[in-house]
């Protein structure tokens, strides 16, 4: 149950998609003076050392964040994401990677609130220490050692009636797909105007595809983006991409993703099977709620890769593995 540690995957291609979108949503909410809450159901450790034992050992950042550093002509969404990462690395070397709690904390104003759930006994200790180091005000931030699926229910709707709910379990337990779908359904009953951001892995499990299709049948405004970086492995293991499903998305998000996804696909591609999709609830759908069979995904975009797997202009720490 507690085998998963996100530090092993910090800064990979899935984090790039998830956190670039999260930063855009946070920026959008900050356009209005009215306060809001951010609720993270599976917070993790909050901040990760990319040259540390976990992330340094896996090296997944090499095919994620590292490919973006120094890459030419990044679109607006990516530029803003990279600026957010830089805020945690003032020396200009990307050795620390902020998870969603750190990104949210940095974005919040004094009258906004952050509510975090984490069940892993080690992760929550690291998270608490991280927030102390970042100077998180106790009156603004609350952490609960609790299953976020259960804890979410009592927090909705937030008193401000403005809020972002991030749902991104590890999905190591197949039941997480069902729990995620139910959490969104229950959440919308309590907080119909809330922005719900769901991250999920693209893996060879039928549950992942079923959950995505079920989310698309919800009678709400939504945006659904996926990023595939390689062909699925023959043994069915490993993460070949990820998706983000956003209920009540910022109206600016679709255009920013439309500009960013082709660039991300090209930059993060590991083989010729790299591709992306971008769909919204405004697209025509048939009576069953599914998109028409003739629907075409965004064009496939392959990309060559430098011999060492990273952009030549990238700045790296000598200690980074």
Q: Which residue numbers are catalytic? A: 168
CA distance 261 to 312: 22
How far are the Cα atoms of 72, 86, 228, 259, 286 from residue 79, in angstroms, in the given order?
A: 11, 10, 21, 12, 37
Do residues 83 and 20 make contact, with C-beta atoms less than 8 angstroms apart? no
Which distant-in-sequence residues (6+ apart) come within 8 Å of 78 by Cβ? Answer: 20, 68, 260, 263, 264
Classify 75 as helix, strand or coil.
coil
Going by their DSSP bridges, the two strands 195-202 and 163-167 should be labelled as parallel
DSSP 156-169: -S-TTS-EEEEE--
CA distance 39 to 113: 8
Write out the two tokens for 31: 């356009």
In 3D space, the residue among 42, 50, 46 whose CA is nearest the CA of residue 8 turns out to be 50
Write out the two tokens for 53: 């034992």
CA distance 46 to 43: 7
CA angle, 223 then 244 then 291, to 5°:
45
Do residues 154 and 39 make contact, with C-beta atoms less than 8 angstroms apart? no
């Amino acid at each position: 149950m507690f085998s998963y540690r996100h530090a092993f995957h910090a800064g990979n291609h899935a984090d790039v998609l998830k956190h670039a979108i999260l930063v855009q949503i946070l920026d959008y909410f900050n356009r209005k003076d009215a306060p809001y809450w951010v609720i993270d159901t599976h917070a993790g450790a909050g901040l990760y050392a990319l040259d540390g034992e976990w992330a340094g050992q896996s090296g997944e950042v090499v095919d994620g964040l590292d490919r973006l550093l120094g890459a030419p002509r990044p679109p607006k969404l990516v530029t803003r994401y990279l600026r957010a990462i830089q805020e945690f690395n003032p020396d200009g070397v990307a050795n620390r990677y902020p998870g969603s709690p750190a990104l949210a904390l940095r974005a919040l104003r004094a009258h906004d609130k952050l509510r975090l759930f984490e069940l892993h006994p080690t992760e929550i200790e690291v998270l608490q220490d991280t927030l102390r180091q970042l100077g998180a005000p106790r009156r603004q931030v609350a952490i609960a050692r609790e299953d976020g699926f259960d804890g979410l229910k009592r927090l909705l709707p937030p008193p401000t009636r403005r809020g972002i709910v991030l749902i991104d379990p590890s999905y190591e337990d197949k039941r997480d797909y069902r729990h995620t779908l139910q959490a969104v359904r229950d959440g919308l009953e309590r907080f119909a105007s809330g922005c719900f951001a769901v991250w999920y892995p693209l893996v060879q499990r039928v549950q992942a595809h079923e959950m995505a299709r079920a989310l698309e049948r919800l009678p709400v405004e939504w945006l659904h983006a996926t990023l595939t970086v390689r062909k699925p492995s023959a043994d069915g293991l490993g993460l070949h991409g990820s998706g983000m499903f956003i209920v009540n998305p910022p109206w600016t998000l679709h255009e920013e993703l439309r500009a960013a996804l082709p660039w991300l696909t090209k930059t993060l591609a590991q083989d010729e099977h790299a591709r992306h999709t971008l769909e919204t609830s405004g697209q025509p759908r048939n009576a069953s709620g599914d998109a028409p069979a003739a629907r075409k995904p965004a064009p496939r975009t392959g990309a060559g890769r430098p011999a060492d797997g990273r952009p030549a202009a990238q700045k790296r720490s000598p200690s980074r593995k």
